[in-house]
């Protein structure tokens, strides 16, 4: 059997080769691009699923935090009160020790009319029978390790009652 070919033999010129190469590799590039797009599209579903789960977890955690907020404020209040109690306890121990020192130094010869003790100073309004007892009291106060300065602000010698009244401002560290 014989065949008839209506097409002429075409010579492979460079343009035909270029077009054929472009079509062949262009199809491959398009297939790779579609594959990447398909993978990205499918990956987006997994990312959306994770995002939805994270949003749900955040909402659940917010509910838990809101439910515990009253307990947390109560707990913080309790912590602050305990801290304040600790500060008062340490301060009161220092104050009591300073007051004991003043009473021991007075040796029963000094009568305290008013005593005020703060962090850095003590104010004592005292009454005694003689200047010598006042002088002895002031000398003994100077020997205390925490006393840095003593100011006698006011001295009154009441001859009618035989009393010496003084206001002492004692600076401490």
User: Do 44 and 120 sit in the same domain of this protein?
Assistant: no
pLDDT of residue 5: 57
Domain that holds residue 78: 12-98
What would the pLDDT profile of 110-154 be if each residue is shown by its tens digit?
888 888 888 788 888 888 888 888 888 888 888 888 888 888 888
User: Do 27 and 94 sit in the same domain of this protein?
Assistant: yes
User: Do 78 and 127 sit in the same domain of this protein?
Assistant: no
In this structure, of 35-49, 125-139, 154-168, the range with the lowest mean pLDDT score is 154-168
Nearest by Cα to 109 from 163, 145, 60:
163
Q: What pTM value is reported for the model?
A: 0.50
User: Do 134 and 60 sit in the same domain of this protein?
Assistant: no
Residue 6 resides in a domain: no
Question: CATH number for the domain including 138?
Answer: 3.30.1360
What would the pLDDT profile of 46-60 be if each residue is shown by its tens digit?
999 999 999 999 999
Mean per-residue pLDDT of the chain: 86
Domain end position, chosen among 53, 76, 98: 98
Could you tell me the two tokens for 97? 């020790």
Q: How far is CA 18 from CA 14, 23, 25, 70, in A?
A: 6, 9, 10, 77
């Amino acid at each position: 059997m014989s065949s008839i070919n209506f097409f002429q033999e075409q010579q492979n010129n460079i343009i035909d080769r270029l077009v054929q190469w472009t079509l062949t590799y262009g199809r491959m590039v398009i297939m790779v691009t579609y594959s990447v797009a398909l993978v990205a599209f499918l990956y987006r579903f997994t990312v959306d699923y994770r995002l939805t789960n994270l949003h749900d977890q955040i909402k659940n955690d917010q509910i838990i935090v809101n439910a515990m907020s009253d307990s947390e404020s109560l707990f913080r209040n309790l912590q602050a009160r305990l801290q304040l109690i600790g500060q008062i306890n340490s301060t009161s121990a220092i104050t009591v020790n300073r007051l004991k020192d003043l009473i021991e130094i007075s040796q029963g010869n000094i009568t305290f009319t008013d005593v005020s003790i703060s962090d850095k100073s003590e104010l004592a309004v005292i009454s005694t029978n003689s200047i010598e007892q006042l002088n002895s009291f002031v000398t003994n106060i100077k020997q205390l390790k925490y006393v840095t300065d003593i100011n006698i602000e006011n001295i009154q010698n009441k001859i009618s009652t035989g009393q010496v009244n003084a206001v002492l401002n004692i600076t401490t560290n």
